[in-house]
């Protein structure tokens, strides 16, 4: 049976939490999750992330039906995130105080033994198995471009001064380029979706060790606690989907 659980925390430094998330049951053996990390000033980031989460949640829950195939699930996610992008962008254009606001996004539907994920920005999704953990999304960031070009290593990217510079975000432009992936998820496996308030602090191996020692039922709280012990300089959001 699929389960999902999420939590967000303001961290140790920020006064406002501009992360947001939703997760829940869509039907028999189907769950969804959406995680956003807002940007664009004290007011704008919060509005962007909340708006995106609400629109994606409403769109996915309204459109999903049991028995849908992989192509249908992909279209549901892409349509939902595209609608959220238009809404956030239009609102930013109407209100000068919100101009330039945006948000990262990871939206997922897990059903029929498959995980489907759409994303933009540097919030991440990981696939956890008995053999380890794999990052299944690729960051849309300046440092990821440097890694892809071979100019820096993945370890160097974790501490690069431009690690917060993202190259894609929802709501910044009228159209958005989304990445999509899908893969099987077996019994006893999990998907972790998180903002960079978690991933900035830990390597894949370190994340896996925390998750396995805590167990899936308690790993969300343990991951957030571990990030705060490392400094908690950013908002931290984690969702765990287990099968």
CA gyration radius, the chain: 17
pLDDT digits (tens, 9 = 90+) for 213-233: 999 999 999 999 999 999 999
Number of Cβ within 10 Å of residue 120's Cβ equals 26
Number of Cβ within 10 Å of residue 128's Cβ equals 24
Q: For the domain that residue 175 is a member of, what is the CATH number? A: 3.60.40.10
Say which residues have a Cβ less than 8 Å from residue 229's Cβ, sequence separation at least 6: none
Distance CA 45, CA 10 (A): 13
pTM of this prediction?
Answer: 0.94
Q: What is the pLDDT along the chain (243 residues), one digit of tens a residue?
A: 899 999 999 999 999 999 999 999 998 899 999 999 999 766 799 999 999 999 999 999 999 998 899 999 999 999 999 999 999 999 999 999 999 899 999 999 999 999 999 999 999 999 999 999 999 999 998 887 777 788 777 777 777 766 778 999 999 999 999 999 999 999 999 999 999 999 999 999 999 999 999 999 999 999 999 999 999 999 999 999 998
Distance CA 131, CA 103 (A): 32
Q: Which residues pair with 242 in a beta bridge?
A: 3, 190
Domain containing 14 equals 3-242
Q: Which residue has the tokens 């459109």?
A: 63
Distance CA 163, CA 228 (A): 19
The torsion angles phi and psi of 216, rounded to 5 degrees, stand at -60, -35
Token pair for residue 31?
Answer: 């769950």
Give the burial class of 87: count Cβ atoms within 10 A of its Cβ; 0-12 exposed, 13-18 middle, 19 or more buried.
middle
Q: Which residue has the tokens 């978690």?
A: 198
Query: Based on the structure, what is the number of domains in the chain?
Result: 1
Q: Which residue has the tokens 């287990």?
A: 242
Which residue stretches of the chain are H helix? 41-63, 70-94, 142-148, 154-158, 196-199, 204-214, 219-229
């Amino acid at each position: 049976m699929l389960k999902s659980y999420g939590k967000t925390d303001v961290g140790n430094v920020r006064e406002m939490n501009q992360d947001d998330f939703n997760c829940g049951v869509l039907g028999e053996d189907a769950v969804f999750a959406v995680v956003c990390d807002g940007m664009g000033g004290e007011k704008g980031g919060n509005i962007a992330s909340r708006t995106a989460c609400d629109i994606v949640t409403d769109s996915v829950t309204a459109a999903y039906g049991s028995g849908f195939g992989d192509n249908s699930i992909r279209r549901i996610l892409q349509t939902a995130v595209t609608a959220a992008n238009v809404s956030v962008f239009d609102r930013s254009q109407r209100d000068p105080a919100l101009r330039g606001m945006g948000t990262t996004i990871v939206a997922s539907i897990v059903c029929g033994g498959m995980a489907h994920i759409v994303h933009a920005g540097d919030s991440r999704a990981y696939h956890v198995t008995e053999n380890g953990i794999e990052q299944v999304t690729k960051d849309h960031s300046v440092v990821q471009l440097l890694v892809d070009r071979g100019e820096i290593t993945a370890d160097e990217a974790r501490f690069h001064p431009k690690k917060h510079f993202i190259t894609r975000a929802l709501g910044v432009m009228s159209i958005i380029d989304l990445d999509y992936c899908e893969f099987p998820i077996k019994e006893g496996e999990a998907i972790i979706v998180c903002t960079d308030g978690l991933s900035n602090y830990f390597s894949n191996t370190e994340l896996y060790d925390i998750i396995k020692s805590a167990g899936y039922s308690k790993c969300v709280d343990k991951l957030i606690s571990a990030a705060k012990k490392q400094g908690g300089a950013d908002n931290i959001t984690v969702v765990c989907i287990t099968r």
